Amino acid sequence: MEGKNPFFTLKSHFLEKFEDNYRQRGLRNQLVKKLRQKGILDEKVLAAIAKVPRHVFFDGALLTHAYEDKAFPIGEGQTISQPYTVAFQTEKLQVKSGDKVLEVGTGSGYQAAVLLELGVKLYTIEYNRKLYEKTKAMLPQLGYNPFFLHGDGSKGLPAKAPFDKIIVTAGAPIVPAALTEQLAEGGCMIIPVGDQEKQAMLRITKKNGKLVKEEFDNFAFVPLLGAHGWKS
């Protein structure tokens, strides 16, 4: 009966996509174990990864790959970041509940969901209109409600600055001064900077008005576009 009725077909497709069963929870726990082995130690970050249903951020054929530690295409030439990368950036950001955070590069919304699990107040900005619209429609259905913005995040969001933390999830050619200017005193930004093939993960902390730079491992992100990115 259900299979023949288009309403029920639509409804069951929706429920299937949003279903979070013991198998998916088991796969997530295995992913968390792998992240711990790879050196992610912050238990709050690992708990957030264990909670967010990554498979819901995937479409059709790729669904079965949702708990592999890999980046995957999300359309528009963009990707959902590798879980290790999400965990690494989140850990290095050292967020506290209540922090005001800016994310540049909403993409699928997965990183946003992980940050919201940690109790932050999140502004997330996406350059690609189709991804912005898709994620803005989908994320609240999972109970995640950041402030969504469409535009060039390489310029930050001066109207809402300063931010306790800024996370950039696309590879930048430089550290945009527009972003460091929008950091609160004591705040930090995590940003991959390099060429279009690989980037060093940098943490920039504002201490007594000065910027302190730390450099971590190399990663490979899609390019940051816009005024302070690789121009579109």
- Residues in contact with ligand SAM by CB under 6 A are 78-81, 104-105, 107-108, 110-111, 125-128, 131, 152-154, 169-170, 221-222, 224-226, 229
Residues 6+ apart with CB under 8 A from 114: 45, 48, 49, 52, 86, 90
Q: Which is nearer to ligand SAM, 12 or 72 (CB)?
A: 72
Give the residue from 141, 143, 103 showing the smallest Cα distance to 121.
Answer: 103
Shortest distance, position 135 Cβ to ligand SAM, whole Å: 8
Q: CB–CB of 114/52 below 8 Å?
A: yes
Q: Which is nearer to ligand SAM, 169 or 187 (CB)?
A: 169
Shortest distance, position 167 Cβ to ligand SAM, whole Å: 8
Q: Could you tell me the maximum CA-CA distance found in the chain, to the nearest angstrom?
A: 67
Q: Which is nearer to ligand SAM, 12 or 62 (CB)?
A: 62
Shortest distance, position 184 Cβ to ligand SAM, whole Å: 20
Shortest distance, position 49 Cβ to ligand SAM, whole Å: 12
Give the residue from 218, 56, 204, 47 showing the smallest Cα distance to 118.
Answer: 47
As annotated, the active-site residues are 81
Determine the number of helices (DSSP H) and then strands (DSSP E) in the chain: 7, 9
- The two tokens of residue 106 are 């909403």
Residues in the chain: 232
Pairing of strands 199-207, 210-219: antiparallel
Q: Which is nearer to ligand SAM, 54 or 206 (CB)?
A: 54
